[in-house]
Amino acid sequence: MTETATRPIRLAIVEDNPLFLDLVSSALDSVDGLEVVATAKSATEARAVLADADIDVAVLDIDLPDGNGVGLGVWLSSQFPRPGVLLLSATDMLELFLGLPEETRAGWSYLSKSSTTDFDVLIKTIQATARGRTIVDPSLVDRSRAKPGGRVARLTKRQFEVLRAVARGLSNQAIADEFQFSLKTVVAHLTAIYSALDIPEGSNPRVHAVLEFLKETERDS
**In this predicted model, what pLDDT tens digit does every residue of 19-49 receive, in sequence order?**
999 999 999 999 999 999 999 999 999 999 9
Residue range 98-123: mean pLDDT, rounded: 81
Residue range 84-105: mean pLDDT, rounded: 79
Q: Is the pLDDT of residue 212 over 60?
A: yes
User: How confident is residue 196, by pLDDT bands cut at 50, 70 and 90?
Assistant: very high
Q: Which of 110, 22, 128 is nearest to 61 (CA)?
A: 110
Domains and CATH numbers, the chain: 9-137 (3.40.50.2300), 142-219 (1.10.10.10)
Q: Is the pLDDT of residue 109 over 70?
A: yes
Contact call for residues 53 and 6 (beta carbons, < 8 A): no
pTM given for the model: 0.77
Residue range 181-204: mean pLDDT, rounded: 90
Residue range 157-161: mean pLDDT, rounded: 95
Rounded Cα distance between 53 and 121, Å, is 25
**What is the distance of C-alpha 124 from the center of its chain?**
10
